[in-house]
Structure formats: structure tokens, C-alpha cells
């Protein structure tokens, strides 16, 4: 007896074929979407980077115009690292030329001494120690390393009642800062018929003192320096505009040094 052919088998094959076709189409579609998303993301990242270095370039221009040459140089370096555009490198060249010119201008008001034995270069205001308050930083450079020292003290006629100071306090606006030092490091000199009494101490400039001379003093109209002895007797001096400028010039020059 002849068996009837099953109609179910061809129908099943058709269903399987349709499923395979749909799977292939879905896979191709997912790949296309993924590639499109990746391109979009990459395009967005590139656009973000472009805006970032353009913003840094604009910031560097503003800093340069306002005389903040060290900050401008650092910011334009970041822009150049992202993309070395011609206008970026030109701005950097202009900044470096201005820094070089400014250093030359400042050096005209400095006293520069070489200690050939210790191989140290000292840079200080040309005014140096004068009558009255002594308060200025100076720079030391040894083996390409720079540092700052704050020289504090006074020089007065021998006829004026003086004392050996053990404490120095600085009042600038709302901030009062005591300058710590070792009394054994002080220089005392008495010249009865000449300069009179000179008493000085050199203090290493740490972060706190650097902020005082770089930011706090320039931001306030009046800065008072008080010297006290062990019995708390005190003598006050007020920084003059000339002294403030000498401080600012040394700090500015220090920031230009590599």
C-alpha cells in the first residue's frame, strides 16, 4: 500500500528558512547601528577635544593680555599638546619673548652676585639694606635649583633706643602672620659712627610665606611689620610703596625662572 507524502515537512522547512533570514537581517542591522553609534560617539569626542583646546587658547590669550605670562605659557602649552596649531605656537613664541624682555627689565633693578666657591647665584633688590625697615626676598640659584629667602630686620641710628628682637609679626589686612626663625641665625652689627645698629635675619620662604609676599601683601593697602623682644616691647614699621614694588619684582622674576 503506497504511503502518502507528508505535507508537514516542507512547511517546517519554510518556517526554518524564514527564521534564518530574519536572524541574518537582524544581525546586519545591529552591526550597522553599532557602527553608526561608534562613529557618532567618535565624532562627538573629537568635537569636544577641539572645543577644549580652543577654549584653552582663548584663556591663554586673556592671561597674556592681562600680564599673567607664566600662567598664559602653561595654558597655551596644554592647547599645543592637544593640537599644535600655528596660531597656538605663535602665541607661545610671543609669550616667551615677552617673558625674556620682562626679565631683562627687572634685572636692571637687581644686584646679582656669584659665589664661585659654593656655586650659588644670589639675586636681590639693588636697594639692599637701608635705614629703617628691612623686608625683602632674595633668590638663590644652585645647580639649576631656585629658592627664595626673606630678609627681615632694621637699621637704625645708635642713638635710637633699640632692642634685640625675638619675634616678627606681619599684619596685612585681616591676616596676621608670625614669621618663625632661629634667633641664632640673626646678624647683629653695631656701627656707632656709621650706619648705626643693624639687626637682620634670613628666613626660608615656605608656602605660607610665599603666599604672604605674593598675594596677601599686594592685595592690601597697608602692611605693618612688628618686632618684639622677650619682654614684649614692640617697634612697628609700615611697608612703603617702594618696598612693596621691590618685593613684587623679586617674586615676579622668581616665577620666570625654570
pLDDT for the residue numbered 2: 47
- Nearest Cα neighbor of 190 from 228, 160, 147 is 160
Q: Do 201 and 172 share a structural domain? A: yes
Maximum average pLDDT range among 9-13, 41-45, 66-70, 155-159? 66-70
Structural domain includes residue 3 = no
Interval 181-225: pLDDT, tens: 988 888 877 665 566 788 899 999 999 999 999 999 999 999 999
Q: Do 157 and 123 share a structural domain? A: yes
pLDDT for the residue numbered 170: 98
Q: Do 116 and 83 share a structural domain? A: no
Measured CA to CA, the distance from residue 157 to residue 155 in angstroms comes to 7
Measured CA to CA, the distance from residue 85 to residue 53 in angstroms comes to 10
Structural domain includes residue 5 = no
Q: Do 243 and 116 share a structural domain? A: yes
pLDDT at 95 over 50: yes
Structural domain includes residue 214 = yes
Domain count, the chain: 2
Q: Do 206 and 120 share a structural domain? A: yes
C-alpha cell at 138: 632674595
- Nearest Cα neighbor of 223 from 129, 130, 110, 215 is 215
pTM of the model: 0.76
Structural domain includes residue 1 = no
Measured CA to CA, the distance from residue 14 to residue 150 in angstroms comes to 93
Structural domain includes residue 72 = yes
DSSP character at residue 148: E
Q: Do 82 and 37 share a structural domain? A: yes
Which of 104, 123, 138 is the last residue in one of the domains?
104
What are the residues whose beta carbons fall under 8 Å from the beta carbon of 254, sequence distance 6 or more? 137, 139, 146, 148
- Nearest Cα neighbor of 165 from 146, 142, 181, 145 is 181
Which residue carries 592637544 as its cell? 82
Rg (CA), the chain: 36
Higher pLDDT, 190 or 122: 122
Q: Do 88 and 136 share a structural domain? A: no
Which of 72, 104, 136 is the last residue in one of the domains?
104
56 conformational bin, left if phi > 0, alpha if psi -120 to 50, beta if neither? alpha
Which of 104, 125, 144 is the last residue in one of the domains?
104
Measured CA to CA, the distance from residue 175 to residue 211 in angstroms comes to 11
Q: Find the domain containing 49 and state its range.
A: 11-104
CATH number at residue 55: 1.20.58
Mean pLDDT (whole number) for 52-75: 91
pLDDT for the residue numbered 231: 81
Structural domain includes residue 85 = yes
| Residue 166 CB coordination number (10 Å) | 14
Structural domain includes residue 6 = no
Interval 16-45: pLDDT, tens: 555 655 555 555 455 555 555 555 544 555
Q: Do 160 and 252 share a structural domain? A: yes
Q: Do 223 and 172 share a structural domain? A: yes
Q: Do 131 and 82 share a structural domain? A: no
In this structure, of 19-28, 144-153, 247-256, the range with the lowest mean pLDDT score is: 19-28
pLDDT for the residue numbered 148: 98
Q: Do 132 and 92 share a structural domain? A: no
Q: Do 122 and 99 share a structural domain? A: no
Measured CA to CA, the distance from residue 200 to residue 136 in angstroms comes to 11
Structural domain includes residue 2 = no
C-alpha cell at 237: 614699621
Measured CA to CA, the distance from residue 75 to residue 58 in angstroms comes to 9
Q: Is 170 helix (H, G, I), strand (E, B) or coil?
A: strand
pLDDT for the residue numbered 3: 47
Mean pLDDT (whole number) for 238-249: 96
Measured CA to CA, the distance from residue 204 to residue 180 in angstroms comes to 9
pLDDT for the residue numbered 127: 81
Higher pLDDT, 84 or 28: 84
pLDDT at 239 over 90: yes
Amino acid at each position: 500500500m503506497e504511503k502518502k507524502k507528508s505535507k508537514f515537512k516542507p512547511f517546517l522547512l519554510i518556517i526554518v528558512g524564514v527564521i534564518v533570514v530574519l536572524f541574518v537581517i537582524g544581525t546586519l542591522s545591529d552591526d550597522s547601528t553599532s557602527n553608526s553609534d561608534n562613529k557618532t560617539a567618535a565624532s562627538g569626542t573629537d568635537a569636544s577635544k577641539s572645543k577644549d583646546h580652543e577654549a584653552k587658547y582663548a584663556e591663554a590669550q586673556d592671561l597674556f593680555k592681562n600680564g599673567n605670562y607664566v600662567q598664559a605659557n602653561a595654558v597655551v602649552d596644554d592647547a599645543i599638546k592637544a593640537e599644535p596649531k600655528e596660531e597656538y605656537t605663535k602665541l607661545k613664541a610671543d609669550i616667551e619673548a615677552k617673558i625674556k624682555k620682562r626679565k631683562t627689565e627687572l634685572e636692571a633693578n637687581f644686584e646679582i652676585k656669584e659665589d664661585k666657591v659654593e656655586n650659588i647665584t644670589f639675586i636681590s633688590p639693588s636697594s639692599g639694606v637701608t635705614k629703617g625697615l628691612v623686608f625683602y626676598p632674595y633668590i638663590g640659584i644652585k645647580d639649576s635649583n631656585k629658592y627664595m629667602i626673606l630678609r627681615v630686620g632694621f637699621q637704625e641710628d645708635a642713638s635710637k633706643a633699640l632692642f634685640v628682637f625675638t619675634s616678627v609679626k606681619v599684619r596685612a589686612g585681616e591676616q596676621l602672620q608670625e614669621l618663625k626663625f632661629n634667633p641664632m641665625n640673626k646678624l647683629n652689627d653695631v656701627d656707632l659712627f656709621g650706619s648705626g645698629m643693624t639687626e637682620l635675619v634670613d628666613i626660608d620662604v615656605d608656602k605660607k610665606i610665599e603666599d604672604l609676599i605674593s598675594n596677601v601683601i599686594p592685595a592690601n593697602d597697608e602692611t605693618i611689620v612688628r618686632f618684639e623682644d622677650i619682654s614684649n616691647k614692640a617697634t612697628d614699621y609700615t611697608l612703603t610703596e617702594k618696598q612693596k614694588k621691590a618685593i613684587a619684582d623679586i617674586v615676579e622674576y622668581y616665577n620666570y625662572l625654570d
